[in-house]
Amino acid sequence: MPAELINGTAIARQVREDVARGVAELVATGGAAPGLATVLIGDDPASEVYVRNKRRACTAAGMIDQHRHLPGDVDQATAAALIDQLAADPAVSGILLQLPTPAHLDVEVLLARIPADKDVDGLTVANAGLLAQGRPGLRPCTPSGVMALLDQHDVPLQGAEAVVVGRSVLVGKPMAHLLLERHATVTTCHSRTRDLAEVCRRADVLVVAAGIPGLIGPEAVKPAATVIDVGIHRSGNGLRGDVDTAAVAEVASRITPVPGGVGPMTIALLLANTLTAARRQQGRADGPINGTTAS
């Protein structure tokens, strides 16, 4: 029987509606509307689309759009000065530096200027370290979105075999930590993993963020596994992921489509992080954000 499709578009809509309610409540109780600063450097067409969608989602949720666009040949000092200015601006609750940035810039140095409490992408060393230690902090949006999809579908994680394909700072590494935090037994694979298909076949939960179109076929999937495809590649007029969706759906029990799976969750969780950041900056935090120490 073909796998159930995990509808990321619908789940993202629910998250965005919850965030919009949270923003309305914050404002109704005398708080300031959260401000999201999206920083786009250059004119990469895909990044322009993602940033436009983030800005629209931000406004639709009742937040203040604080977008900044710098030319692709901007120098490091000017880009750093912009981030410093946003960091000091009390109207800015969250700062997001759209990736990738032009190659001449040192992206790690730019990210390091974002204060941890405004790091709504969860990409600073401080927030990555908090996640690695199982301590509360802002978590990267795409892996948090994957966790929300798994939870919406009641996918059991405690004691489950989880395999993550990919070890990027944006997805693979934080994904492994988030799964560990929920007591999954986690294996991370990468380009030098020997017999990738054999390792992937152990997975009850397989998360693929390798950046290679169609990398995972049915031979790499355990029967009844849950398969999450984080890949996104333009092919002809359409989009495809890292998983051969049609073939894998014959083996898996649940699978995310591309488009309409993980992608929309990235933007929804960005809004959720921005609301969390704004609440904390305004002294409205109700308990720790995102995180428990695993034992």
Show binding-site residues for NADP(+): 166-168, 232
Instruction: Answer with the entry of ligand LMY7XDAE, Mg ion, none that 50 interacts with (C-beta below 5 to 8 A by kind).
Output: ligand LMY7XDAE
Q: How far is the CB of 53 from ligand LMY7XDAE (least distance, A)?
A: 6
Residue 14 annotated as catalytic = no
The kind and range of the H/E element at 163 are strand 161-165
Q: How far is the CB of 105 from Mg ion (least distance, A)?
A: 6
Instruction: Answer with the entry of Mg ion, ligand LMY7XDAE, none that 263 interacts with (C-beta below 5 to 8 A by kind).
Output: ligand LMY7XDAE
Q: Give CA–CA dist 78/84, Å, rounded.
A: 10
Interface pattern 132-171 for Mg ion (x via CB under 5 A): ----------------------------------------
Three-class SS of residue 160? coil
Q: What is the DSSP string of 224-269?
A: T-EEEE---EEETTEEE-SB-HHHHTTT-SEE--SSSSHHHHHHHH
- Known binding-site residues equal 166-168, 232
Residue 121 annotated as catalytic = yes
Q: How far is the CB of 217 from ligand LMY7XDAE (least distance, A)?
A: 20
Whether residue 60 contacts residue 3, with contact meaning beta carbons closer than 8 Å, is answered with no
Whether residue 125 contacts residue 141, with contact meaning beta carbons closer than 8 Å, is answered with no
Which listed residue (117, 121, 229, 244) is catalytic? 121
Choose among 69, 124, 145, 143: nearest CA to 101: 69
Residue 106 annotated as catalytic = no
What are residue 229's DSSP bridge partners? 208
Contact range with Mg ion by CB under 5 A, out of 23-31, 96-104, 208-216, 251-259? 96-104
Task: Kindly tell me which of 88 and 103 has the beta carbon lying closer to Mg ion.
Answer: 103
Chain-centroid distance of CA 197 in Å reads: 25
- By CB under 5 A, the residues from 98 to 137 that bind Mg ion are 103
Instruction: Answer with the entry of Mg ion, ligand LMY7XDAE, none that 267 interacts with (C-beta below 5 to 8 A by kind).
Output: ligand LMY7XDAE
Three-class SS of residue 162? strand
Candidate residues 199, 225, 258, 271; the one interacting with ligand LMY7XDAE per rule CB under 6 A: 258
Choose among 187, 255, 185, 188: nearest CA to 218: 255
Q: Give CA–CA dist 149/253, Å, rounded.
A: 14
Q: Is 121 in the site for ligand LMY7XDAE (CB under 6 A)?
A: yes
Q: Is 260 in the site for ligand LMY7XDAE (CB under 6 A)?
A: yes
Q: Give CA–CA dist 275/52, Å, rounded.
A: 19
What are the residue numbers of the active site?
A: 54, 98, 121
Q: Which residues bind Mg ion (CB under 5 A)?
A: 103
